[in-house]
Every structure is written in structure tokens, then in C-alpha cells.
Amino acid sequence: MVAAVRVHKYGGPEVLTYEDIELPPPGQGQVRVKHHASGVNFIDTYFRSGLYPSPLGLPFVAGNEGAGEVLALGPGVTDLKVGDRVGYVVALGAYAAERNLAADRAVKLPDSIDYEQAAGMMLKGMTVQYLLNRTFKVGKGMNVLVHAAAGGVGLILCQWANYLGANVIGTVGSPQKAELAKANGCHHTILYAKEDFVAKVKEITGGQQCEVVYDGIGKTTFPASLDCLKPLGMFVSFGSASGPVSAFDINLLQQKGSLFATRPTLNTYAAKRADLLDIAADLFRVVASGKVKIPVNQKYPLKDAQKAHSDLPEGRGRVRLTAWKRRPARGPSVPPPHLAGRFSSSQSPTAPPSSSLGFGTGRHPRWTRSATMAPWCHWSRSARIQSRFCCSRRSCAGASEPARRSIWG
């Protein structure tokens, strides 16, 4: 039996059910992965609500992104071995301590990438890679508009587009998010709730408009986004945070300058294993170079998956889950009272957030000890696997707390 979060019926966060499930041995072409971290993303809410019907039917284990170590191999697996560190993006199954996974969807992690980084970037980071390099190839001097620039994908997209030499313009929902976006590569920010983003884009670009618009918001920013494009520009709709873009008259693209519009998905761009490995390798390269940063900043218990999903619409960022095994040699079984439930992260307050679900074995390279860190922080309180969610958003509850903290359930 392994701990997991399942959906038995479509609905809001309340349908996420924390329970133990049976896990059979890995089948033909599969590996069993012990999660150290698993990502929580907006797309998870689409599956939970039924906006995206589950390809597995009901019930299903939620989650689409994770990282961990290979525990066992099914028949026919030759590219991986037991003990390999891997990351993946696969529809459903990630909110669990362990899972079986098609081996050809697993990507070996380089030593420079830890589990929590991987779980916080496999979906979002590989999405950004294909958006900037394959859907539309962004180059030096181009004007790029990024909606939701302070969101999970947005922060990575701004950093990477900046690295490519683009003039990055981002829409955000608050002054605090504007500062976060600017700290992560966005040159110009627009408060879309208070400003006309079409007029501001025209002003910022001196009337030149943008070569490309990356839109993960959907309904509320369309069709105005088309007015931000120069002739022959491309509108890239990769998400539907405010609802899907409704059907529209394709002649609108001709009327606004022979524009291009696309609704891409990572599953298509990475359908072939060779493409998956190329996309992942490029992502690992830019992260290892320091040009794109993927820190992890806050954690919740796996049993609090409902809260993690409730926080997503509030802009609290990407979320991460971790599970820890008992290690009897490590410290007392309960924290000191003055440190109960918390320890501090060493990450920079201006670094971009990350979301993941993580399952550790007592060693956690992303966290360092300090005067405010409990000595028991690498050890759980029972023999069964404990799980934690990590929310990376700086604007977390508790303004007097450090920008990043971890909370035990």
C-alpha cells in the first residue's frame, strides 16, 4: 500500500481524497518510481474539475509531474536501471509516494539538478522550452508579451526570454507580482486590472507591437491579445486559467494583420522520445547555467492537497509535495515547541517559485540548517511515509514569517 491523493468524482478541491492504494508490480516497459517530489500545476485543477476528462476514468491519482528514483524494472526495460534518478511529465498519477511509469517517459536527471528542482520544472520548464524555441523561435531584440508573468510558467518564461535577448513585457495582477516578475527577467510590467494592456504594449514598443504573445490566461485576455501583435505575429494560447478561449471567426486573424494562432501542448511536442530528451536536455542546460532558476520555497502535507489546490487560484504559486521516510538515527520524533512546524529555506527572496510534490529519504540538498531550523527537519514522525506540499509563492500567509517556510501536517 502506498499513500496517494485520488479523485473519485469531478469537482472542486474538496474531491481530492488522501488514502492508501494498492500498487501492482511494474508491467511491460514500465518502471516503479519512488517519488522524492511531484509537481502541482493549474492543469491538475483542470483534470480534477473535469475540464480535461481523465484518460484513466474515475477514480484516478492526481498529478502530472514528478521526480524520484527507480525502484524496480518491468519486462523489456533496458534504458534505465534501479537507482537511477529520473523526472517525468505524464498525465495523472504523480500525487503518490510511488507509482508505475512508462520507462520511455522518464528522463534521467543530471547531477546538477536535484529532485525538487526537477519536480518544480519538468512540466513548466519543458513547456517554456518548446514555447520559446519550437512554437515560435524567440530571438534577440524581439518584443514578447507574457500574460500572467508572475505565475509558475510566466516566471520561467520571462527569465528564459530575457536570456534569449528579447524585450520582455508582462501582465500581472498586483504591484507585488510586478516586482517579482521584474526580479525574474521581465523588463516591463502592466497591471492588467488597472491598465489597458493593449495601449500599454503599444506605448512600450513605440507602436511596433509584439512578434509573439504567450497567453496562459485564456478567456479574459482574448481577443485583446491579438491587438498587441504586429502583422504576421503569433498568438500562443497555452493555458486557460480564466476559462478557455471561445470559438471565434478565423477571419479575425486576417483582419488584424494575417496573424497566426496556435494552441500547443507539451504532449505533442514531446511525443517522440528523441524530442522529449532534447527538450529536457536544453532545460537542464539553462538551469545548470544559472540563467533560469527554479528554487522551492514552501511546503504543505500531502494530506493538505485540497488546500494546495485552493491556493492556486489565489495566485499563491506552484505547489510541491514531499514524503519522508522514518530514519531512526536522525534526532527526536517531535520538534522543539518553539520550532514546531517550521524551518527556513536558504533561497533568495527574489528567486522564482516552484511547485512540486516531493518524497524524500532523509537527505534534502535544497535546504540548509540555520538558527531557526529545527534539527529534526530531515526526519518524519512515523514509520509510514509522510507527505508535504510546498508552495513557492512569496506572498504566503503569515506576513511576519520568512518569505519561504515549510509546514508539517
Domains in the chain: ranges and CATH: 1-135+264-409 (3.90.180.10), 140-262 (3.40.50.720)
What would the mean pLDDT of 182-193 be, rounded to a whole number?
A: 96
Q: Given pLDDT bands bounded at 50, 70 and 90, which one contains residue 390?
A: very low
Cell numbers at 244, concatenated: 478557455
323 CA to centre of own chain: 18
Report the share of the chain in percent with pLDDT over 90. Answer: 65
Strand order from edge to edge, sheet including 229-237: 188-191, 167-172, 143-146, 210-215, 229-237, 260-262
Q: Which residue has the cell 487560484?
A: 313
At residue 15, does pLDDT exceed 90? Answer: yes
- Mean pLDDT lowest among 194-208, 260-274, 319-333: 319-333
User: pLDDT per residue over 22-73, tens digit each?
Assistant: 999 999 999 999 999 888 888 899 999 998 999 999 999 999 999 999 999 9
What would the mean pLDDT of 148-175 be, rounded to a whole number?
A: 96
The predicted structure's pLDDT at residue 30: 98
Report the share of the chain in percent with pLDDT over 70. Answer: 75
Q: Output phi, psi for 181, to 5 deg.
A: -65, -40
Mean model confidence pLDDT for the chain: 81
Cell numbers at 263, concatenated: 494552441
At residue 134, does pLDDT exceed 50? Answer: yes
